[in-house]
Structure formats: structure tokens, C-alpha cells
Structure 1
């Protein structure tokens, strides 16, 4: 779908003899628009929402800026000077089809910039705050300590945050989210056994807790217990069969640590397809791992194997 926009400039603040060429800086415009997209993403609520809904909101924040950048980029190559002061008509053709190469190139460029420069993006994508039974406490005192812990976690004061979470679970031993956040703090402090213990306590309260199931696998990977990490991801798959993090995690374990690049590639392709389907910015991370696996298989003379696995997952190699 192509749309032609007609801009009729009735007046310009230029003298009749002016020869000035007003220029739009595409790089500056790109940064301004992606920074605005980051602010949009920061405002997205995540509490008690499913991940697909959150990623759809993130995609919308980026989509809103792609068209604006297309317009600015087109104008960057147009002479906007108006020395005669007469009306000046400019015709600009934009390809606003979201499946077009032009649109996708800009979208993915913005997405990559945000992944590298917008810290709130990863926080929003990684959030697993969907409420289940016993996720939150009904005890106000426990909630007060929990919220103080959240404040300290945001400041990266993980030791201080832990003290508040410990007080929260002492008051309410069935406070699953408090155990989850204890696990995060211990993991950031590289106390991986204590992190796993916290996640396991949360899972005893809520066996279907997505956050502890996913993060316990990460903790095992940090401990270099890669087979246990795979088993943890497989448990998560039983609850969320279409969670791309399952296939991404398993793919990483096999490709980077368990010396099985073919199984790693198959899982990473599945993760990639799900990320694309869900419009998740982590698509780029899966793509990087696939490229790394390609380099290894090419070195081993297995390019045909690489292409066959991609074809089996309906991915074109280029």
C-alpha cells in the first residue's frame, strides 16, 4: 500500500532573494524519534498483564515513529528553500506497508537502537507480573516492606532490597512475588544457590509462576549446570508452549555450552519465529545467535545442515 502525501507550502520565513537550503539531519531526527519511542515504552503498564499484550504495546510505540522518520528522511533530500516566496508544492511518496522492505528496515533499525540504548525496553519485555493466587500479599505490612524492597531494587541496592523482602515473607510466608524478587537480588549478587532456593520457595507456593521458572533456568546457566537449565526451560514449556524464551534458552544451552549446534540452531529458529510473530525486540538477539551458529557450522563444513534446519523452520537464509 503506497500513499502519496501532498504538502503545499503557502508561506516560508525567507526573503525573496534568499538562497538558503533548509536541511533536515536524518541522524538527529532518528535519535529524537527513537528517544520518544523509549518514553512511550516507559509508560507501558506491565502489572498483571500477559507478555503478548506488552510486546504489542512496545511495537505500537515503534510503529508510531517509523512513518514520522520516513517523512523526515524524504525531506532531507529535498530543497526546502523558497527564494521567490511563491507557493511551492512538494510530492512525497511513502511506502507505509508494514510488510515492505523499506518499512521493515527502518522498524528494525529503531528496534536495535532501542535494545542498545533504552534500558526500560528490556525491563518491559522481561516483566512477568501476571497475578496468580498468592502472587501478592493481602497483608498491608508485608506489602509495605515489599514496596520498599522494590524501591531499593530500582536503585540497584540489592543487599538493602533483600532485607525488606525477607521482612515481607516473614510476615506473609506465602508471598510469591517477594520470593521472586529475592531471587533476582541474589542472582545480581551472584549468590546463585540462594537465588535458586528463593525461586523454588516461590514455586512451592505457585507451581505455575512464570518468572521463577524462567529465572531458575538462568541461575543454573550461571552455575554452568547447563543440563539442569534445559530441564527448567522444559518445565516452563509445559505451561507456556509458545514462550520464545524457552526455545531461546534451550538453544543457547545446546549451541554455546553443550556442543550440539544443530539442536541449538533448531531451538533458536523456533525462538526467532515466535519473537517475530509476537513483535518482540528480542528477535535481534536470536538472529545474532543464529549467525554465530552459522559460522561454527560453516567452519565444520556443514552449511547444508544449517540451510536444512532453517528451511524446516520456514526461515530463508541470506
Structure 2
């Protein structure tokens, strides 16, 4: 009986391994196709992405061996393969990942389809503007009760709780926001900030890494990782991310460029004290950034 069970596991494992190989080939072909997509209009973008995935799937399956084609003759088999391919795409194809997140951002970072939810939300904004955060929270919660997927209301509820130093509820509502939109940059950045305030650096680092992964053009993910890594005395990681953050701030003419400079100066002075400026100079050269240092 044990021999039969082991054989079954081996055969099943072999099938899944081959299925994963097929999914990877589809993802690679689809990614090349998606690189050529130029539109940013959500509906058109989604349609072209779907076409790329369909074409890649058909090409890989039809040009594969007969044995492989037979595995995907059922609707369930094809759907499972497509799901696996899209998961690989999201992890390994930045163009696809960016497109998906852009589509979701347009979908979620907007007013509710329910006018009553919008009325409560906008009333909450009026209270928040004059720092009446308790009243604002009541209105935002009314909006959420009407539309539980209302990201603006969820994020603003968390922001107001944070303004009143209620970090437990702030974290709670940022997590609710991430349950709806896991790639939301507002919730990821702010929940990371709460974790830093609570001295939960490992949790903060995880959220900052998600922010960097999902939003590679947002400097805040890099900046947060640099700060946490510096505190952990992981200086190479800190420098890599500090220089990337500074570059993005500079390119975008962000007012936070001075924060980027200050962090780099702190790292510089620390490495100078530790007689490790070779590492700093190496990284500065790598990112083509000149820095005179600070006393």
C-alpha cells in the first residue's frame, strides 16, 4: 500500500512539474507580447493583455508534444493552466504586473457606485479637513457599511484613527483596505509606517518590500527599506535602496529629495566612523551619484 501511495505521489508530482513548465513557457511568451502594448486606457489595456495571454497559450499548447496537448483538452484543464500562467506572469513579468495594478488602481481608487456611500464619505472629508476626526470616522464607517469595498473610505478611516493616535484601529482598517486591494500603495505605505512606530521593523520591512515590488516607481518603498536596513546594520541593502529612492525623488523633483539626502548622509557618517567608506563609494559609483559627505 505504501509503495502504491509513493508511486502516486511521484506521478502526480511529475504531472504538476510539467504543468508548471508549460505555464512558465506561456508566461514568457505572453510577457514578450505585453512588452509591445502601449495603450494606458484600462479597457483597451485589459483586452490586449487577454489577447497576448490567449495567443501565447494557444501557441505553446499547439506546438507542444501530443502528450502535453492531451492534458489540456478539458475546460477545467485549460482554466487551471491559464491560472498558473497568470500567477507566473504576475510574479515574473513587470510589464504585466504594472498593467494589472494600473487597471486595479483605476477601479478601486475612485468614488463608490453608491451615491449614499459617497455622501457619507464626502461629509467625512469635510469633518477631516477641520480636524474633527471622530465625526469624520463616523461618516466614513457609514460609507463602509453601505459599500464594504470603498477603498477611499477604508483608507481615510485608517488615516483618521492614526491622527488620533489609535494605531490599533488604524492598522485594522489599512488591513481591510489591503484585503480589497492588496497592491494599494496608500495602505501599504501607511501600515508600514505604523509598524515602524510600534518598533515592528520586520513587519514594516515586509510591507515596504511589497510596496517596492508592486510600485517600483514609488520612492517610498525603497526609502522605507533603506531606513529599516540601516537600523539592522545591513548597510549594503540600505545603500542600494537609499540611492534608488534618492534617484526617483530627484527625477520627479519631489520635495522629499532632501529626506533622501539626509538618509544618505546618515549612512555615510556611520560608515565613515566604521571605516567602511569603500562600500559607500562603491555604491555611489554604481548608481552614478556623487556625494561629498557630511560632518
Query: What TM-score does the superposition give when structure 2 sets the normalisation length?
Result: 0.60
1:182 touches 1:198 (CA, 8 Å); kept in 2? yes
RMSD: 1.6
The total of aligned residue pairs comes to 188
* Alpha carbons 1:245, 1:271 under 8 Å: kept: yes
Q: Is the 8 A contact 1:152 1:158 kept in 2?
A: yes
Residue aligning to 1:243: 218
The offset of 1:265, in angstroms, is 2.1
Residue 160 of structure 1 pairs with residue 135 of structure 2: yes
Structure 1 residues 175-194: aligned runs within 5 Å: 175-194=150-169
CA contact (8 A) 2:108 2:150 kept: no
* Aligned residue in 1 for 2:69: none
Alignment partner, residue 184 of structure 2 = 209
Q: Structure 2: give runs of 5+ residues left out of the alignment.
A: 1-104
From the superposition, tell whether residues 131 and 155 of structure 1 become closer, same or farther in structure 2 (CA, over 3 Å). Answer: farther
Match of 1:305 among 268, 272, 279: 279
Q: 1:270 aligns with which of 237, 241, 244?
A: 244
Q: Does 1:291 align with 2:291?
A: no
Q: 2:118 aligns with which of 125, 143, 153?
A: 143
Q: How far has the Cα of 1:169 moved from its partner?
A: 0.6
Deviations 1:188-221 (A, max 9, x none): 2222221121011112222232211221111111
Question: By percentage of residues, which structure has more strand?
Answer: 1
C-alpha displacement of 1:287: 0.3
CA separation of 1:134/1:306 partners in 2, compared to 1, >3 Å: closer, same or farther?
A: closer
Counterpart in 2 of 1:261?
Answer: 235
Q: 1:199 aligns with which of 147, 158, 174?
A: 174
SS in structure 2 of the partner of residue 184 of structure 1: helix
Tell me which residue corresponds to 1:28.
Answer: none
More helix by share: 2
CA shift in 2, pair 1:154/1:131, >3 Å: farther
CA distance in 2, matches of 1:310, 1:145: 50
Question: CA 1:135 to 1:207, structure 2 compared with 1: closer, same or farther past 3 Å?
Answer: farther
- Between the aligned partners of 2:259 and 2:133, the Cα distance in structure 1 is 27
Within 1, Cα distance between the matches of 2:112 and 2:129?
Answer: 20
Between the aligned partners of 2:158 and 2:235, the Cα distance in structure 1 is 30
Aligned to 1:121: none
Separation in 2 of the partners of 1:134 and 1:279?
24
* Residues 242-294 of structure 1 deviation map (CA, whole Å, 9 limit, x = unaligned): 21111011111112x32323321221111001111222121111001111111
In structure 2, C-alpha distance between the alignment counterparts of 1:173 and 1:269, rounded to whole Å:
39
Q: Within 5 Å, which residues of 2 pair with 1:66-145? A: 131-133=106-108, 135-145=110-120
Task: Extract unaligned runs of 5+ from structure 1.
Answer: 1-129
Q: Which residue of 1 aligns with 2:255?
A: 281
Q: Cα deviations across residues 38-76 of structure 1 (Å, max 9, x unaligned)?
A: xxxxxxxxxxxxxxxxxxxxxxxxxxxxxxxxxxxxxxx
Q: Distance between the aligned counterparts of 1:261 and 1:161, measured in 2?
A: 42
1:40 corresponds to which residue? Answer: none
